Amino acid sequence: MSSVALPVTETMRTQEASCAIATRARERLLERFEAGRGMIDAVLDQVESTVPTDYLVPSAATEFVPADKGVAVRFPRVERALPVHAHALGQLADRAAIPQRYVSTLIDEDPALLALNLSHRYRKQAHTKYLARAVGDELLGWLSSSYKRLNAAPLVDAFIDQAMAMGAVPVDARQLDTKVYLKVLLTQVFEPMPNEVLGIGAILRSSDFGDGAYSIALYVERLICVNGAIAENLLRKVHLGSRLDDLEYSNRTHALDTETLVSATRDVVRHLFETRNIQAKLDAVREANTKELNIKAAVEALRGRSALSKAEAERSLELYNTADVQLLPPVAAGNGGRPKHGIGTSYRLGNVFGLLAQEAEPRRALELQDLAGQVMGLQERRVA
């Protein structure tokens, strides 16, 4: 009997492409491990060399002046006015109850007026002290006197050491002006759905300047296209301590606070990579891959609560409609038919935000990866 050639359907083509892509994804993972080592070394050097200088500043002794690119601040023990970083300016405005929109307008149009407003507001806080944190000649943080100062270098070291002991290796690291983050992935690959190859690891985020809490979270990445999603923070460590009245006294407790958090970091990484926790996230991915939702309505809802800008919402819908399985996972047809018009899955939409993150600057990329984790159900709060 002669053989009959079966027609090649679109589904068969997609499966064949997915098999090849999955194989390539495993190869790329090894390549990223090699590149990650160099990135970690560079960031560790930066973290160890970027040590803030701290000042306990009486509010009434604070004076602001216009500067080349905004405002600068003078207070006792500094030889000349320190230029104020955008992050610190936001903190200064919040503590002076000056609306951010007003600050944004004046910083461009009339920095002298902004400096006058800030000086006036802080002179009225007669009995308040703030912790000012500077690097070089720039003010990067303006914090409460209850801010618990932590040394990022030993925390980063503990995170990397424990992650590598659990079989993970670095793949990405960044030292931003006021924040540092590091990502590691296990050398094992996971395939929760056929030909959908994932990497699982952890992400550490830390700031010595009040730019977010110190956090460690599980990290899930689609290896085909490095779309990432961040699960919930397992550390939930905020930088609040007792009121800071004397820096010299605080320095004596500073090392003990850091040592305690180093131990907690190691414990959290061990817990995070337990088999049951990884399995729970893989189960969440499978559920998200079958959870149907109206894509346009979901994106509009996120736009409505300011989780996405107008441009990001429009770009998200554009990306969602791509047919490239290397960029986004395919939507499985329900009941043997084609996917319903306008209806997609939480998993694919989460990957849209992971893909969108690759187009964003690093700070916004982390926020979009957080959003991806929420949409996929990897975090406690589900948004779709």
Strand partners, 183: 172, 203
Neighbours of 93 (CB within 10 A): 21
Question: What's the pLDDT score for residue 150?
Answer: 75
Whether residues 59 and 30 fall in one domain: no
Q: Could you say which of 144, 160, 188 is where a domain stops?
A: 144
Question: What's the pLDDT score for residue 20?
Answer: 67
Task: Enumerate residue ranges in the chain where pLDDT < 50.
Answer: 1-17, 239-244, 246-249, 335-338
Residue 358: give the domain boundaries.
1-51+150-384
Whether residues 369 and 279 fall in one domain: yes
What are the Cα distances from residue 318, in Å, to 153, 341, 370? 41, 15, 20
Whether residues 234 and 203 fall in one domain: yes
Question: What's the pLDDT score for residue 384?
Answer: 52
Question: What's the pLDDT score for residue 353?
Answer: 97
Whether residues 139 and 288 fall in one domain: no
Q: pLDDT over 90 for what percent of the chain?
A: 56
Whether residues 228 and 366 fall in one domain: yes
Question: What's the pLDDT score for residue 252?
Answer: 53
Reported pTM: 0.82
Neighbours of 49 (CB within 10 A): 10
Whether residues 46 and 102 fall in one domain: no
Q: Could you say which of 89, 113, 144 is where a domain stops?
A: 144
Domains of the chain: total: 2
Whether residues 45 and 125 fall in one domain: no
CA pair distance 34, 46, nearest whole angstrom = 20
Strands (E), the chain: 53-58, 63-67, 70-74, 82-83, 129-135, 138-144, 168-175, 180-186, 190-193, 196-206, 215-222, 227-233, 292-294, 343-345
Whether residues 32 and 43 fall in one domain: yes
Whether residues 128 and 198 fall in one domain: no
Q: Could you say which of 96, 116, 144 is where a domain stops?
A: 144
Question: What's the pLDDT score for residue 213?
Answer: 85
Write out pLDDT tens, residues 250-295.
555 566 777 888 988 999 999 999 999 999 999 999 999 999 999 9
CA pair distance 228, 21, nearest whole angstrom = 17
Whether residues 104 and 240 fall in one domain: no
SS3 label, residue 99? coil
